[in-house]
Amino acid sequence: MAAEALALAGVAVDLYDGMPSVGRKFLLAGKGGLNLTHSEALPAFTARYGERAEAVGRWLAAFGPDALRAWAAALGVETFVGTSGRVFPQDLKAAPLLRHWLHRLRGQGVRFHMRHRWLGWDAAGALRFATPHGETTATPAATVLALGGASWSRLGSDGAWWPWLQARGIDLAPLRPSNCGFDVGWSEHFRQRHAGAPLKSVAIAVDGWRQAGEFVATATGVEGSLVYAASARLRERLARDGSASFELDLLPGRSLDWVQREVAHPRGPRSLATHLKTRLNLGGVKAGLLWEIVPKDAQADPARLAAFIKALPIRVTAARPIDEAISTAGGVRLEALDDRLMLQALPGTFCAGEMLDWEAPTGGYLLTACMASGHVAGQGAADWLRR
């Protein structure tokens, strides 16, 4: 996106990529249908960026969700709004959009250099690259770094750039997993019976925040869209306190009073498991979680059991490794950049994308902000070159 903004400004652009082809993580996102953006109103959309909402809001003012959909349409890729409000290409594929985009970029004069992995700067300030034919350098008039975070390193974003920028005095925040799963420490019995089972129509509450949705019980813990939405809160609580937990509502559509009445209903000779399945439709992994976590004495107390059904405490012990995360938090602090996304300590060098210190939930917010930051950085570099 930065290359396109620069090319449209009449600048000669060379794009260097360490991988054999561009857009590897973009194509991976397409495996889930390529959730480009979201259709919600811009104020609510912008609020998704939490502490960085004000800064990211400025990027979105320059290139927001509507602009992204118009950009895709100009490439011949129409989009539609799904039932969840998320926006997808009509064919739910990333490859056609990327193919059309690369064709347009080449037509705009952008030169691609594949298998050129950046190695930082040499003593004279030139960019160093490792290539199949040995090391080479480049001395551009302006540079845009869009190096990704540190998740899915096999696709190119390995965070190797972090110490090179740190050595240049750039203010950086440690890279941390975002939109990630968490370890719980299930019993062997629960793991064998329920690993991989989806928990649908549930709600999670953390520190006053609450959201309904679904997630998956894994062999090591929990992951999935609802857990990802809570991941930043859980991660920060783990870092601060050494432990974290969330409350799981197994029946978010039912009140506590209703659950108490159903649990207290006489069950006769039926087992408690059969009773809960018959009266509350609680079976499978949901029932498994109750037997995993609820103490025996509480299982025999209808009022306490009902309270657990509405607020089951799930204690997480650690975030999954950063390379498994969908995205990362941390990176170049926005305070180290000006409004054009130029590094104040390195005039003429701009940064964009996931290497910047912001995060957002899944749902189109990650890709939109990456695109918007590239647009701002590219226009910023073109403006700096003109000046």
pLDDT the model gives residue 32? 79
Q: Name the residue with tokens 């420490």.
A: 185
- Ranges assigned E (strand) in the chain: 14-16, 37-38, 79-81, 86-89, 111-113, 117-121, 127-131, 134-138, 143-145, 172-178, 182-183, 197-206, 209-217, 221-223, 244-249, 312-316, 318-319, 327-332, 349-351
pLDDT of residue 56: 98
Residue in 278, 288, 320 with CA at minimum distance from that of residue 199: 288
β partners of residue 349: 143
Structural tokens at position 275: 């009773």
Q: What is the pLDDT of residue 7?
A: 98
Q: What is the CATH number of domain 2-178+328-386?
A: 3.50.50.60
> What pLDDT does 129 receive?
98
What DSSP string describes 26-70? HHHHHTTT---EE-S-HHHHHHTTGGGHHHHHHHHHHS-HHHHHH
Distance CA 375, CA 56 (A): 12
How many degrees, rounded to 5, is the angle at CA 204 between CA 201 and CA 206?
170
Domain boundaries of the chain, sorted by first residue: 2-178+328-386, 182-319
Rounded CA gap, 335 and 343, in Å?
9
Residue 30 is predicted with a pLDDT of 85
**Closest among 324, 148, 325 to 232, alpha carbons compared:** 325
Per-residue pLDDT of the chain (387 residues; tens, 9 = 90+): 999 999 999 999 999 999 999 999 999 888 878 999 999 999 999 999 999 999 999 999 999 999 999 999 999 999 999 999 999 999 999 999 999 999 999 999 999 999 999 999 999 999 999 999 999 999 999 999 999 999 989 999 999 999 999 999 999 999 999 999 999 999 999 999 999 999 999 999 999 999 999 999 999 999 999 999 999 999 999 999 999 999 999 999 999 999 999 999 999 999 999 999 999 999 999 999 999 999 999 999 999 999 999 999 999 999 999 999 999 999 999 999 999 999 999 999 999 999 999 999 999 999 999 999 999 999 999 999 999
Element at 235 (helix H, strand E): helix 225-241
Q: CA-based Rg of the chain, rounded to a whole angstrom?
A: 24
